[in-house]
């Protein structure tokens, strides 16, 4: 089946796989042209299909680590089945699989050849991407993933190395049908190299995965593109796994100061620990990303044309980078950078990423369209005083000096209370004043949120809602700011309860509940705890706080409660698990209103 030009061999990847370093002459009917790269599962070749003179990429898949005959047969059958299913995926952003060839312990997957770099290579190049450019990359990838998911195909190994660009900058997803076998064929240390960072909690725990695991992995890529860092880093496999399963990532706006809190909401949702709490499709995530501040630039396109030019410049810059990376790869002999196993290095992204002040102004004004202009006032050719006053009123409104317009309208109405034109101008001027006030307060509130001044943000946005109770942008940021204020306050409440329990301070414990009835319901349990045990120790972790629409909040946290029994002298675990509290604010203090 396969013929080599010589018989020398070498080990790759630190000695895990041993395979021929010589360039094969043929794989089946395919003529081997060159080695494109070496990945975790073997060599990737560039080849020629002689029947139709088409260049293809051939990826080798090893099974030599499996010694059990039936296990090997089952896995081989599964690989071929999945590769064939993936081959039926017809989407412009999914690499096409043409053929699957089996040869003893090797399987060869013949696929579409794309002559560009991987997203991993672009990240390694140090390129900083704006939110708009990031969405331009991830939108077609998301559409491709959703298409595969609708067809019942899960990728299971979404990562920057599996997103490839052609020379025009068009992204492609690769390795459908291959990822299922990676953990079965590779050792633990090999599997975690570069891939573990992108796995979902259910995936690292060995649980059944579905399409939402791919969505989580795409969220990890989004985080890395926005910040230049992986959300769940670590020096070893155990540290990475622990963080994926247990820890929330640092907010992207804390790392990239040019991103506002809306990006935090998107990232936290796509990286939710529970699949049901995540976006249920990739394009849902893209839609929320497009609702962030940068999209407001689009509203300027039709007025000035300046932003259109900037968008084209960004696109040209991006395509130039793709071409440059391709050229570097060719000159270095790397060629098909997608399959390089070299890890991408983090890069510091430029400070101009995110929502600029001009963009924010566009955002807040776009939600309140300018008032419609009343019918024009006839020219005061006769020189009549009332005509001159109305003309002056119209000119003031056209100049958007709404305060002056309102003053002039009130002057006319003082003399002519029934003047319909003056009434209409007064109404429109007041609407213009309100819109300007909303824009000013909204911009101030969002800026305060970005600077961490949550109290000021709340004050500004509440004023917005007094004027426009349906302003969705104000409501969204208000919830985020109030949550940011509430979280440390509620965390402090949990800490006060922990300390009170360790000190056997029953009065403090009971004071933290919002009603005498609820306090009485926990009194007996705490008396039994304090009378039966010494050395009470409580470890609190993974605190999550969410505000509810009724002014309350829900706090969920993990607790490990241990104590020394007075009878046996032995330390026992009294509680280990998750707790959920409902809380309500009484004055300036949060109180526990229900324990679930």
pLDDT, tens only, 199-229: 999 988 878 889 999 999 999 999 999 999 9
Question: Which fold, 481-595?
Answer: Nuclear Transport Factor 2; Chain: A, (3.10.450)
Q: Cβ(236)–Cβ(230) under 8 Å?
A: no
**H-only helix segments in 62-169:** 69-87, 119-124, 131-150
CB neighbour class for 363 (10 Å; exposed up to 12, middle 13-18, buried from 19): buried
Q: Return the structure tokens found at 457.
A: 């943000």
Separation of alpha carbons 110 and 86, rounded Å? 12
DSSP 8-state assignment for residue 515:
S
Name the one residue in this structure whose structure tokens are 């102004």: 361
C-alpha torsion sign, points 21, 26, 32, 38: negative
- Rounded to two decimals, the pTM is 0.49
Separation of alpha carbons 190 and 185, rounded Å? 10
pLDDT more than 70, % of the chain: 71
Residue 449 CB partners (closer than 8 Å, separation 6+): 260, 261, 457, 477, 480, 481, 484
Q: Cβ(62)–Cβ(361) under 8 Å?
A: no
Residue whose C-alpha is closest to residue 118's, from 326, 337, 345, 332: 337
Q: Return the structure tokens found at 41.
A: 């599962």
User: Each residue of 422-450: b (16+ CB within 10 Å) or e?
Assistant: bbbbbebbeebbebbebbebbbbbbbbbb
Give the residues of the chain that fall short of pLDDT 70. Answer: 1-24, 38-42, 62-87, 104-105, 177-194, 293-386, 549
Residue whose C-alpha is closest to residue 124's, from 352, 351, 353, 340: 340
Instruction: Give the three-class secondary structure for 487.
Output: helix
CB atoms closer than 10 angstroms to residue 400:
13
The most distant pair of C-alpha atoms in the chain lies apart, rounded to whole Å, by 107
CA distances from 274 to 64, 155, 203, 222, 483 (A): 36, 19, 12, 18, 21
Name the one residue in this structure whose structure tokens are 């809306």: 262
DSSP 8-state assignment for residue 297:
G
pLDDT score recorded for residue 296: 34
Q: Structural domain boundaries of the chain?
A: 2-112, 119-339, 385-470, 481-595
Residue whose C-alpha is closest to residue 442's, from 459, 426, 425, 430: 459
pLDDT score recorded for residue 212: 94
Residue 280 CB partners (closer than 8 Å, separation 6+): 212, 215
pLDDT score recorded for residue 104: 65
Q: Return the structure tokens found at 361.
A: 């102004």
* CA torsion angle 532 535 541 543 (round to 10): 60
CB atoms closer than 10 angstroms to residue 104:
10
Q: Cβ(311)–Cβ(294) under 8 Å?
A: no
Q: What is the CATH number of domain 2-112?
A: 3.30.200.20
Separation of alpha carbons 472 and 323, rounded Å? 42
Residue whose C-alpha is closest to residue 265's, from 282, 251, 248: 251
DSSP 415-443: H-TT-HHHHHHHHHHHHHHHHHHHHHHHH
Separation of first and last alpha carbons in the chain: 64
pLDDT score recorded for residue 370: 47
The structural architecture, per CATH, of the domain 119-339 is Orthogonal Bundle (1.10)
Separation of alpha carbons 35 and 38, rounded Å? 8
Q: What is the pLDDT of residues 263-282, one digit of tens each?
A: 999 999 999 999 999 999 99
CA distances from 137 to 262, 295, 359 (A): 20, 15, 21
Residue 201 CB partners (closer than 8 Å, separation 6+): 216, 244, 245, 273
Q: Cβ(33)–Cβ(47) under 8 Å?
A: yes
Q: DSSP 3-state helix, strand, coil percentages of the chain (rounded to 5)? A: 50, 20, 30
Q: Return the structure tokens found at 239.
A: 């540290």
The structural architecture, per CATH, of the domain 385-470 is Alpha Horseshoe (1.25)
pLDDT score recorded for residue 529: 93
């Amino acid at each position: 089946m396969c013929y080599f030009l010589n018989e020398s061999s070498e080990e790759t990847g630190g000695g895990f796989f041993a395979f021929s370093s010589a360039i094969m002459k043929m794989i089946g009917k395919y003529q081997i042209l060159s080695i494109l790269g070496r990945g975790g599962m073997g060599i990737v070749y560039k080849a020629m299909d002689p029947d139709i003179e088409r260049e293809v990429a051939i990826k080798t898949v090893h099974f030599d680590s499996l010694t059990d005959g039936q296990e090997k047969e089952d896995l081989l059958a599964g690989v071929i089945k999945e590769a064939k299913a993936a081959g039926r995926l017809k989407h412009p952003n999914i690499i096409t699989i043409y053929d699957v060839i089996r040869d003893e312990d090797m399987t060869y997957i013949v696929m579409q050849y794309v002559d560009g770099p991987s997203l991993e290579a672009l990240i390694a190049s140090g390129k900083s991407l704006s939110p708009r450019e990031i969405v331009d990359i991830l939108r077609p990838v998301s559409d491709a993933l959703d298409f595969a998911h609708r067809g019942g195909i899960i990728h299971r190994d979404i990562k920057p190395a599996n997103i490839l660009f052609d020379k025009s900058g068009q992204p492609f997803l690769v390795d459908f049908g291959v990822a299922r076998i990676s953990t079965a064929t590779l050792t633990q240390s090999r599997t975690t190299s570069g891939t573990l960072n992108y796995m979902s909690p259910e995936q690292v725990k060995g649980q059944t995965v579905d399409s939402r695991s791919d969505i989580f992995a795409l969220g990890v890529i989004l985080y890395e593109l926005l910040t230049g860092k992986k959300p769940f880093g670590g020096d070893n496999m155990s540290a990475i796994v622990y963080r994926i399963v247990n820890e929330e990532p640092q907010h992207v706006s804390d790392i990239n100061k040019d991103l506002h809190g809306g990006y935090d909401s998107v990232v936290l949702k796509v990286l939710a620990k529970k699949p049901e709490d995540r976006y249920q499709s990739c394009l849902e995530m893209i839609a929320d990303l497009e609702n962030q501040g940068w999209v407001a630039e689009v509203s300027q396109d039709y007025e000035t044309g300046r932003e259109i030019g900037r968008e084209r410049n960004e696109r040209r810059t991006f395509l130039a980078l793709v071409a440059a990376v391709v050229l570097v790869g060719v000159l270095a002999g790397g060629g098909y950078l997608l399959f390089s196993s070299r890890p991408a290095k983090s890069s510091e992204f430029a400070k101009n990423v995110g929502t600029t002040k001009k963009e924010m102004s566009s955002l807040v004004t776009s939600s309140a369209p300018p008032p419609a202009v009343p019918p024009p006032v006839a020219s005061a050719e006769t020189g009549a005083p009332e005509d001159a006053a109305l003309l002056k009123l119209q000119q003031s409104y056209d100049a958007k000096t709404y305060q002056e317009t309102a003053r002039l309208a009130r002057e006319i109405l003082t003399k002519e209370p029934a003047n319909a034109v003056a009434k209409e101008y007064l109404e429109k001027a007041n609407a213009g004043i309100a819109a300007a006030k909303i824009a000013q307060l909204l911009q101030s509130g969002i800026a305060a949120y970005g600077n961490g001044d949550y109290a000021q943000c709340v004050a500004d946005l509440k004023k917005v809602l007094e004027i426009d109770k349906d302003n969705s942008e104000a409501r969204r940021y208000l919830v985020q700011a109030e949550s940011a204020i509430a979280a440390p306050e509620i965390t402090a409440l949990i800490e006060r309860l922990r300390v009170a329990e360790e000190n056997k301070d029953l009065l403090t414990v009971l004071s933290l509940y919002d009603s005498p009835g609820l306090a009485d319901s926990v009194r007996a349990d705490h008396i039994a705890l304090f009378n039966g045990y010494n050395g009470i120790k409580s470890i609190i972790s993974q605190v999550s706080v969410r505000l509810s629409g009724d002014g309350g909040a829900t706090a969920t946290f993990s607790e490990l409660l241990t104590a020394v029994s007075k009878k046996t002298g032995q330390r026992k675990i009294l509680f280990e698990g998750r707790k959920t509290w409902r809380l309500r604010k009484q004055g300036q203090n949060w109180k526990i209103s229900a324990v679930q």
